[in-house]
């Protein structure tokens, strides 16, 4: 029973992390319907920026954190301007392959600069975040990831629902031409959504770095885990990303705990294929209606 609870808590916090990573993905998809395969690499870049600020330059943690967020926000703008903008109106496969090319570039650059070693942050999380409850021990990282995850998800939920920029984004996602004719600055919306997505990616990259250490290969591999999550939840839905993240996180840790660690890596994808066969647009995704 204790083992079960321990796994449950671990799965929950891993799930929140997935949800957070999926959030950046959903933001990009919602506004520009670009499937970003460089997601994991952008996460890794965020984690490394934080590493530079916090342990190499030895800045205080809150300042380092804010600087990282600002840096990744700028990175998102640059990515959109340099790579994505020339491709507006091109076929889907080109946009996807462009993000694949971007992923290879970023990964090569990071390996060039930092190498394939495992880095770790200085221990900065306060001890009172660690929870001891009977025999169950919850390390501070999990509590922190749960809290940050909840805060960010709430902020973005509200942002999309009430702020004018959020409404612009939704309108662009819904119908680009109609939004354009109603005076929405579509290019700015794209740029902003990439910037926000990069910021969220950096967040989840940092949390992942605190949890497992920072390694280029590992974090960028995590970017692919996002796909089962977003498909389960539906590509356009933030609530879906949260629920999908938690389901996949629990599924993974339980498979890893009770069956085998090797199966843990593929279980999300097996679930994904099954979901796609039964419910192609996920739990909360919009069903596309097409006319010729």
Partner 1 sequence: MKKLKFHPCGNFKEEYEKELTIFETDFGRLWMWIGIFILFLIIPFICKPYSLYIINNIGIAAIAAIGLNLLIGYTGQISLGHGAFFGVGAYAAAILATSLKFPFWLSVPSAGVIAALVGMVFGIPSARLKHLYLLIATLAGQFIIQYLFVQWESLTRGAEGISLPRATFFGLHIKGDRPFFYVIFICFVIMTWIAVNLVRSRYGRAFIAIRDNDRAAEGMGIPLFRYKLLSFAISSFYAGVAGGLSAYYIGSITPEPFTLFLSIEFIAMIIIGGLGSIPGSIFGTIFIMVLNEVLSGATEFFMNLSAFTGVALTIAPLREFVFGLAIVLFIIFEPRGLAEVWRIIRSSFRLWPFSY
With b meaning 16 or more CB within 10 Å and e meaning fewer, what string describes 40-74?
A: bbbbbbbbbbbbbbbeeeebeeeebbebbbebbbe
Cβ at position 158, least distance to partner 1 in Å:
27
Cβ at position 26, least distance to partner 1 in Å:
13
Q: Which residues contact 237 (CB under 8 A, 6 or more apart)?
A: 26, 282, 283, 284, 285
Run of H or E including 41 = helix 39-51
Q: Confirm if 114 and 216 have CB atoms less than 8 A apart.
A: yes
| Residue 214 DSSP one-character state | B
N-terminal to C-terminal alpha carbon distance within the chain: 56
Number of residues that bind partner 1 (CB under 8 A): 44
Cβ at position 35, least distance to partner 1 in Å:
5
Site string for partner 1, 228-247 (x = CB under 8 A): x--x---x------------
Nearer to partner 1, 60 or 280 (CB): 280
| Residue 287 DSSP one-character state | P
**Helical H segments across 163-260, by residue range:** 164-174, 176-181, 186-212, 216-233, 238-254
Nearer to partner 1, 170 or 217 (CB): 217
- List % helix, strand, coil for the chain (3-state, nearest 5): 80, 5, 20
**Member of 5, 35, 125, 180 binding partner 1 (CB under 8 A):** 35
Cβ at position 80, least distance to partner 1 in Å:
13
Question: Site residues for partner 1, window 244-263 (CB under 8 A)?
Answer: 262-263
Site string for partner 1, 208-227 (x = CB under 8 A): ----------------x--x
Cβ at position 238, least distance to partner 1 in Å:
18
Q: What is the CB-side half-sphere exposure of residue 175 using CA atoms within 13 A? A: 6
Nearer to partner 1, 149 or 233 (CB): 233
Site string for partner 1, 85-124 (x = CB under 8 A): -xx--x-xxx-xxx-xxxxxxxxxx-xx------------
Stretch that binds partner 1, among 19-27, 83-91, 139-147, 237-245 (CB under 8 A): 83-91
Q: Which residues contact 142 (CB under 8 A, 6 or more apart)?
A: 9, 10, 13, 211
Nearer to partner 1, 218 or 265 (CB): 265
Question: Under the criterion CB under 8 A, does residue 174 sit at the interface with partner 1?
Answer: no
Q: How would you write 120-159 as a 3-class SS string?
A: CCCCCCCHHHCEEECCEEECHHHHHHHHHHHHHHHHHHHH
Q: Which residues lie near partner 1 (CB under 8 A)? A: 33, 35, 83, 86-87, 90, 92-94, 96-98, 100-109, 111-112, 224, 227-228, 231, 235, 262-263, 265-266, 269-270, 272-273, 276-277, 280-281, 290-292
């Amino acid at each position: 029973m204790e083992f079960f609870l321990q796994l449950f808590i671990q799965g929950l916090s891993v799930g929140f992390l997935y949800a957070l990573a999926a959030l950046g993905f959903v933001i990009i998809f919602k506004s520009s319907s670009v499937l970003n395969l460089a997601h994991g690499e952008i996460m890794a870049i965020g984690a490394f920026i934080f590493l530079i600020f916090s342990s190499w330059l030895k800045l205080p943690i809150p300042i380092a954190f804010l600087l990282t967020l600002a840096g990744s926000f700028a990175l998102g703008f640059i990515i959109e301007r340099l790579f994505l903008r020339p491709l507006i109106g091109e076929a889907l496969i080109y946009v996807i392959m462009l993000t694949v090319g971007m992923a290879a570039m970023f990964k090569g650059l990071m390996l060039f600069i930092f190498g394939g070693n495992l880095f770790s942050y200085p221990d900065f999380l306060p001890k009172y975040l660690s929870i001891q409850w009977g025999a169950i021990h919850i390390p501070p990282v999990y509590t922190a990831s749960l809290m940050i995850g909840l805060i960010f998800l709430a902020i973005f939920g509200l942002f999309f629902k009430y702020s004018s920029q959020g409404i612009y984004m939704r309108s662009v996602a819904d119908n680009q031409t109609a939004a354009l004719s109603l005076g929405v600055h579509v290019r700015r919306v794209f740029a902003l959504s990439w910037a926000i997505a990069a910021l969220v990616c950096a967040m989840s990259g940092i949390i992942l770095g605190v949890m497992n250490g920072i390694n280029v290969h590992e974090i960028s591999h995590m970017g692919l885990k996002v796909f089962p999550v977003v498909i389960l939840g539906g590509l356009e839905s933030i609530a879906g990303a949260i629920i999908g993240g938690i389901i996949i996180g629990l599924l993974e840790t339980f498979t890893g705990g009770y069956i085998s660690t090797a199966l843990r890596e593929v279980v999300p994808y097996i679930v994904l294929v099954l979901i796609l066969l039964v419910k192609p647009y996920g739990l909360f995704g919009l069903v596309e209606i097409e006319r010729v």
